[in-house]
């Protein structure tokens, strides 16, 4: 009996080695590999999510008010006010706190030599977490000098803001494949982009002919504060307001352009319609045709979307004023308006804090709470206006 048992055992071992072992290994190998890969993938997910959570948990607590910026005499004097203004917009501030921040920084460092996202996100983090009075914007400033080139020294704040928003949007889109938060991709576009429609009317087929329409996307909207217009009568009392909004959107009403209706190149009447807005509207008060600032511009602290667009029926959202950048180019001496010399011009930023809903004034020297909100209105010295969409 013992001999039979040993013979059977030997036969089983022999068949195992010669036939079954190879088949078993072939069958089990992919299953074992899959189990091994699943284990390591799950381990990586747990590790990465733990690291991300630790990074978020380790972020310093946000201050209720942003810090100020260190002035730099070598910098364009518009840069600091613009950065302060943008940092007081919650969507822009969040560039320093978004979940994908470090991944975007790493991705951009591998793709391009110079990027703006890295210094901007670092500055936003510092401005809203530092316990010191001021932050140094040198890294952002130096990067803007390199990226903007000759435009860096320009005197138009709208050009600078437009560049910053456009560059950040491009860089975030460059990193869209590695984004984990679906809201990160549109953080600039959804909050700041404006949908506008340019219209070009040809009189060849009568004044009531349908204009050619071209849809555009903009980040900063220019309002042209021009001298009084003899045709429209706009500004005849040396003042304009939001009632003239659609007229102020156009720099030149007559433009030489190929007409898609009559297929000729000739002078067309230009118009502009605001089709849609994001969560913020940035207005650049362009005084290219009013360098002496003879015109007064009356801007509201609130407006409704229908007040600036007549294109079609839309949700009639309300927007409130939350930031104003202004200078002191027009001063008062002996009860009369005078032009201040360029070297004596100072720029200040008013921002409505989204935590306590109060207005604050940022100058090179200090931050102070605004006691009289009428000072946020300047008919001749306002440069930039920012409005925020109110939640229903």
Q: Which pLDDT does position 65 carry in this prediction? A: 92
In a domain, 17, yes or no: no
Residues 368 and 223 grouped into a single domain = yes
Convert 171-195 into a string of H (helix), E (strand) and C (coil).
HHHHCHHHCCCCCCCCCCHHHHCEE
Domain-embedded: residue 23 = no
- Is the pLDDT score of 328 beyond 80? yes
Residue 75 reports pLDDT greater than 70? yes
241 lies in the same domain as 276: yes
For residue 16, tell me if it sits in a domain: no
Q: Other CB atoms closer than 10 Å to residue 389's CB: what's the count?
A: 16
Residue 327 lies in a domain: yes
pLDDT confidence of residue 85: 95
CATH number at residue 320: 3.90.70.10
- Please state the domain count of the chain: 3
Q: Please tell me the predicted confidence (pLDDT) of residue 372.
A: 94
- pLDDT for the residue 205: 57
pLDDT at 386 over 90: yes
Q: How confident is the model at residue 56 (pLDDT cuts 50, 70, 90)?
A: very low
Q: Is 274 helix (H, G, I), strand (E, B) or coil?
A: strand
| Both tokens assigned to 61 | 């607590």
Q: Is residue 155 part of a domain?
A: yes
CB contact at 8 A, 240 and 295:
yes
Average pLDDT, the chain: 83
Residue whose structure tokens are 């007409």: 259
pLDDT of residue 121: 96
Q: What is the structure's pLDDT at 35?
A: 65
- Do residues 48 and 135 share a domain? no
Residues 289 and 169 in one domain: no
Question: 82: which residues sit within 8 A by CB, 6+ positions away?
Answer: 157, 160, 161, 164, 325, 384
DSSP three-state, residue 357: coil
pLDDT at 383 over 90: yes
Domain co-membership, 115 together with 45: no
Whether 50 and 77 share a structural domain: no
Choosing from 116, 146, 178, the residue where a domain stops is 178
Question: Residue 215 is encoded by which pair of tokens?
Answer: 């849809």
Specify whether 76 is located in the same domain as 104: yes
Centre a 10 Å sphere on the Cβ of residue 79 and count the other Cβ atoms it contains.
21
Does residue 184 lie in a domain region?
A: no
Q: So what's the pLDDT on residue 57?
A: 45
Q: What is each CA distance from 375 to 229, 362, 365, 385, 392, in whole angstroms?
A: 29, 13, 18, 14, 28
Using an 8 Å Cβ cutoff, are 351 and 85 in contact? Answer: yes
Instruction: For residues 214 and 264, state if they share a domain.
Output: yes
> Which of 170-179, 267-276, 285-294, 376-385 tops mean pLDDT?
376-385
pLDDT tops 70 at residue 237: no
Quick check: 107 pLDDT over 60? yes
- Torsional sign, CA 215, 219, 221, 222: negative
- Give residue 55's pLDDT: 45
Instruction: Please tell me whether residues 307 and 203 are part of one structural domain.
Output: yes
**What are the tens digits of pLDDT across the range 80-93?**
999 999 999 999 99
Q: How far apart are CA 174 and CA 180, in angstroms?
A: 14
380 and 307 in one domain? yes
Range of the domain at 106: 68-178
Tell me whether residue 335 is in a domain.
Answer: yes
Q: 228 in a domain, yes or no?
A: yes
Tell me, what's the pLDDT at 174?
92
**Is residue 347 over pLDDT 50?**
yes
* pLDDT over threshold 90, residue 309: no
Q: Are residues 173 and 201 in the same domain?
A: no
- Are 219 and 361 contained in the same domain? yes
Strand partners, 302: 320
Predicted pLDDT of residue 4? 59
| pTM score over 0.85 | no
Q: CB neighbours (10 Å) of residue 344?
A: 9
Give the model's pLDDT for residue 47: 43
């Amino acid at each position: 009996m013992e001999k039979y048992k040993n013979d059977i055992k030997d036969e089983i071992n022999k068949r195992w080695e010669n036939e079954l072992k190879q088949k078993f290994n072939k069958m089990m190998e992919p299953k074992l590999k899959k189990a091994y890969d699943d284990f390591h993938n799950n381990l990586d997910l747990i590790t990465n999510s733990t690291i991300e959570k630790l990074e978020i948990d380790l972020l310093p607590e946000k201050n209720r008010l942003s810090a100020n910026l260190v002035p730099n005499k070598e910098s364009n004097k518009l840069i600091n006010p613009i950065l302060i203004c943008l940092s007081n917009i919650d969507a822009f501030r969040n560039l320093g706190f978004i979940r994908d921040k470090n991944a975007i920084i790493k991705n951009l460092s591998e793709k391009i030599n110079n990027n703006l996202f890295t210094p901007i996100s670092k500055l936003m983090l510092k401005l809203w977490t530092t316990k010191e009075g001021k932050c140094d914007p040198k890294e952002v400033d130096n990067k803007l000098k390199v990226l903007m080139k000759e435009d860096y020294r320009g005197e138009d704040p709208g050009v600078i803001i437009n560049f910053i928003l456009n560059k950040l949007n491009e860089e975030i889109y460059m990193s869209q494949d590695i984004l984990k938060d679906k809201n990160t991709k549109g953080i600039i576009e959804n909050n700041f982009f404006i949908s506008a429609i340019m219209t070009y009317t040809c009189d060849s087929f009568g004044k009531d002919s349908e204009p050619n329409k071209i849809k555009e996307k903009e980040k900063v909207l220019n309002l042209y504060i021009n001298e009084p217009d003899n045709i429209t009568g706009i500004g005849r009392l040396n003042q304009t307001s939001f009632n003239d909004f659609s007229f102020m959107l156009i720099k030149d009403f007559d433009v030489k352009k190929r007409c898609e209706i009559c297929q000729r190149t000739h002078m067309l009447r230009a118009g502009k319609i605001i089709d849609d807005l994001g969560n913020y509207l940035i207005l650049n008060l362009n005084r290219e045709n009013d360098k002496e600032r003879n015109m007064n511009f009356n801007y509201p602290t609130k407006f409704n979307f229908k007040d600036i667009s007549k294109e079609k029926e839309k949700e009639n959202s309300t927007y409130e004023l939350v930031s104003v950048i202004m200078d002191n180019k027009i001063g008062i001496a002996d009860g009369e308006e005078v032009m201040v010399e360029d070297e004596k011009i100072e720029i200040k930023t008013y921002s409505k804090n989204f935590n306590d809903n109060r207005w604050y004034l940022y100058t090179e020297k200090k931050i102070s709470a605004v006691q009289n909100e009428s000072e946020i209105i300047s008919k001749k010295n306002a440069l930039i206006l920012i409005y925020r969409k109110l939640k229903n």
